Structure 1
Amino acid sequence: MSTPTNKMDQARAVRQGESLDVDAVATYLKATLKELDGPVSIRQFHSGYSNLTYLISVGARELVLRRPPFGKKARSAHDMNREYCILSALAPVFPYVPSPLAYCDEPAVMDVPFYVMERLSGVILRKTLPEGPQFDAVWADRLCRRWVDVLAELHRLDYQKCGLAELGNPEGYVNRQVQGWSARYRDARTDDVPDFEAVMAWLAANMPSDHPKPALIHNDYKFDNVILDPIEPDRIIGVLDWEMATVGDPLMDLGASLAYWIESGDSEEFKLVATMPTDAPGMMTRRQIVAYYEEKTGTTVKNFSWYYCFGLFRLAVIAQQIYYRFYHGQTTDPRFEMLGLGVGVLEKAASRVMGSSEY
């Protein structure tokens, strides 16, 4: 197979207002990672919506730096030390995480904590498929299955043996998520988006019990957070963005993932919020994904419409928190301007799922 270079994740010039102090970063990295040598340059990956991600080139070596966004931040989000510790614990047992290299919270280097990890180079799927005959329906089906395989592998990990038992409290997890995300939405709401009150009330009134087998969950597992092998692009070689990982209900993890999953039979309005090519020929439907997850984990999934509805609501909260920063002039990233409309689309989708078996 030829390498789809048009879909290799490329760094570009740093956005206005999001620059780093190159000299301070270079001095810190060369003092901390003794093997580094050569001139330092910084470019930025523009695709993320939350934490900011930069490509640090030191001579021929490439590293990735992660830091919180500028502007208003959710109280519990963007904890760089937490994310760094998760990567450090998972690196020996889960072969899909990039190796963490350094964590820094020194104000002299940067105004916020940040961490540095190895760069994994590969293909990341965005809104459209890469060009090439290999990206056909057979490839799409195989990729979907491997995508579920990796999620199931994560959920089977013994998080206690990994040293991550203190990462979250599975008891009362579902209730905390419903209450917590509802509070976040109300805190971040702007005047031009729906109030979501009916959805929040339905989620609270119909909460399932805590899962009998809590697991380590990623909480943002989707195609554009996985890296595909550039030579065998149906093989996953990396999983990124662990900032929301915790110990909790694996079905809520699956629901959060499928909130992003647009399929060919969805409404045209819902397809407008698509960010990944999950409706391409050969891609599995949401129901097929759930059925294959059941097969891989031996879990019987009941009332998945609740988990899917919660996933849609949670995605709307994430979008609204980002849109809040744009609405109040705390970021100039033009991608954020349309997120308010996306929140409205997600409210309609969540409302359709309430009280039905739809997902």
Structure 2
Amino acid sequence: MSSVPPGLDPEKLRGCLDRERPGLVNGPLSARLIQGGRSNLTYSVTDGTGQWVVRRPPLGHVLATAHDMKREHRVISALHPTSVPVPEPVLLCEDDSVLGAPFYVMEFVEGTPYRTAEQLAPIGPERTRNAVLGLLDTLVELHAVDPESVGLGDFGRPEGFLDRQLRRWGKQLDASRNRDLAGIDELHASLGRSLPASPAPTVIHGDYRLDNVLVGTDDRIKAVLDWEMSTLGDPLTDLGLLAMYSAELEVANAPISTTAAAAGHPSTSELIERYATRSGRDTSAISWYTAFAWFKLAVILEGIHYRYTLGQTVGDGFDRIGDLVPVFIEHGLTTLQEG
């Protein structure tokens, strides 16, 4: 008996695969939701022998640009022949009559997404170090891909990228402003006054961190996932976000966590130095990019807190999100001053 999770009809999916990729599927499909929520939905699908992954937008359809299946499919299709590890794309379907929204299918890759220091603890310090250094080295590989040569020369608008990003997140902040947040306007203004000159644009991931990759039992990065924020832009924004996630939050029972407290986790400075050495890029302005990452996450968390105050969140931990926002603002200000 095949299970039917919300948003995916296994029979309709099989019909589509039989039409577009005849011979791929050898029996009835069953599916389970791997992760969902406000972001794109991810399902594991199997016919009992083969296994695949399906990505589709959330059920309550959001802006098409924010959850563009075609963009995700395009970037993994372009990167698959390169040294960047991404799942092999199987099919893009833009016909809403199959699952009610556009979707794509890709190969299933074995591996673990490590979300917290606690999850890393069982593999020990040496393997943790190897996994995080592999994460950094994979980022270098991504940023070494020539966008034109893989057909992604028009994948974004890199001119004025940082300025647009800063304005975009400022607007996001204004849209969820319902309390005083000491220092956040100062942080936003300071970032605007000290915009660095971007290096040559690359394909950027947009949300690059350890829990958006699959780590194999050999501690190597098997696949980089969740390309919904990817575009052409300033590669140091990816490094700044990774640096932010490599800093310890020092907040008890935080509903959002970094992996930085895990034994063996390389320091932020080691990761930045390794990136500079391996990529050949100037990372002297990395404090700006890291401070921008703190600002961006502060805005995202404030948006979640705002929805919580309106009674629009479901699940646990949302009551503590609001307390984290001042911590992120403080980290952002401190990082910028240190730069």
Report the TM-score, using the length of structure 1 for normalisation.
0.83
Structure 2 partner of 1:107: 96
Structure 1 partner of 2:188: 200
Structure 2 partner of 1:268: 251
1:137 aligns with 2:137: no
Instruction: Give the distance between the partners of 2:94 and 2:10, measured in 1 at CA.
Output: 16
Match of 2:275 among 288, 293, 300: 293
Structure 2 partner of 1:5: none
Instruction: Give the distance between the partners of 2:62 and 2:306, measured in 1 at CA.
Output: 10
Residue identity matched to 1:158:
D
8 Å contact from structure 1 (residues 217, 253) kept in 2: yes
Residue identity matched to 2:90:
L
Q: Secondary structure at the match of 1:355?
A: helix
8 Å contact from structure 1 (residues 147, 236) kept in 2: yes
Considering only aligned residues, what root-mean-square deviation do their CA atoms show, in Å? 2.8
How big is the shift at 1:326? 5.9
1:224 aligns with 2:211: yes
Q: Secondary structure at the match of 2:206?
A: coil
User: Structure 1, residues 4-55: CA drift from partner, whole Å, max 9, x if none?
Assistant: xxxxxxxx995xxx44334333332333221212122121113776211111
How big is the shift at 1:243? 1.1
Structure 1 residues 257, 50: closer, same or farther in 2, change over 3 A?
A: farther
1:244 aligns with 2:229: yes
Q: Secondary structure at the match of 1:262?
A: coil
Structure 2 partner of 1:7: none
How big is the shift at 1:197? 2.5
Structure 2 partner of 1:122: 111
Structure 2 partner of 1:36: 25
Match of 1:182 among 146, 151, 170: 170
How big is the shift at 1:192? 5.7
Structure 1 residues 95, 255: closer, same or farther in 2, change over 3 A?
A: closer
Q: Secondary structure at the match of 2:338?
A: coil
Residue identity matched to 1:246:
T
How big is the shift at 1:276? 4.2
How big is the shift at 1:182? 1.7
Structure 2 partner of 1:165: 153
User: Structure 1, residues 31-90: CA drift from partner, whole Å, max 9, x if none?
Assistant: 322121212212111377621111112232211111122447467311111111111111
**Which structure has more helix as a fraction of its residues?**
2
Residue identity matched to 2:254:
L
How big is the shift at 1:258? 2.1
User: Percent identity between the aligned chains?
Assistant: 33
Instruction: Give the distance between the partners of 1:105 and 1:317, measured in 2 at CA.
Output: 32
Structure 2 partner of 1:4: none
1:283 aligns with 2:265: yes
Q: Secondary structure at the match of 1:53?
A: strand
User: How many residues get paired?
Assistant: 334
Moved over 6 A (4+): none
Structure 2 partner of 1:8: none
Q: Show structure 2 runs of 5+ residues with no match.
A: none
1:352 aligns with 2:334: yes
Structure 2 partner of 1:307: 289
Instruction: Give the distance between the partners of 2:179 and 2:60, measured in 1 at CA.
Output: 20
Structure 1 residues 201, 20: closer, same or farther in 2, change over 3 A?
A: same
Structure 1 residues 31, 194: closer, same or farther in 2, change over 3 A?
A: farther
How big is the shift at 1:149? 1.0
How big is the shift at 1:250? 1.2
Instruction: Give the distance between the partners of 2:180 and 2:189, measured in 1 at CA.
Output: 17
Map of 1:136-155 to 2, 5 A cutoff?
136-155=124-143
Q: Show structure 1 runs of 5+ residues with no match.
A: 1-11
Instruction: Give the distance between the partners of 1:47 and 1:318, measured in 2 at CA.
Output: 18
Instruction: Give the distance between the partners of 1:94 and 1:355, measured in 2 at CA.
Output: 37
Structure 2 partner of 1:256: 241
Residue identity matched to 1:41:
S
Map of 1:323-338 to 2, 5 A cutoff?
332-334=314-316, 338=320
Instruction: Give the distance between the partners of 2:309 and 2:45, measured in 1 at CA.
Output: 30
Structure 1 residues 313, 75: closer, same or farther in 2, change over 3 A?
A: farther
User: Structure 1, residues 219-259: CA drift from partner, whole Å, max 9, x if none?
Assistant: 111111111112x1x21111111111111111111012222
Structure 1 residues 292, 317: closer, same or farther in 2, change over 3 A?
A: same
1:317 aligns with 2:306: no
Instruction: Give the distance between the partners of 1:318 and 1:103, measured in 2 at CA.
Output: 30
How big is the shift at 1:208? 1.0
8 Å contact from structure 2 (residues 70, 92) kept in 1: yes
Q: Secondary structure at the match of 2:331?
A: helix
Instruction: Give the distance between the partners of 2:206 and 2:313, measured in 1 at CA.
Output: 25
Match of 1:53 among 42, 53, 69: 42
Q: Secondary structure at the match of 1:251?
A: helix
Structure 1 partner of 2:80: 91
User: Please, which moves more after superposition, 157-166 or 337-346?
Assistant: 337-346
8 Å contact from structure 2 (residues 121, 262) kept in 1: no
Q: Secondary structure at the match of 2:25?
A: coil
8 Å contact from structure 1 (residues 125, 276) kept in 2: no
8 Å contact from structure 2 (residues 4, 10) kept in 1: no
8 Å contact from structure 2 (residues 73, 89) kept in 1: yes
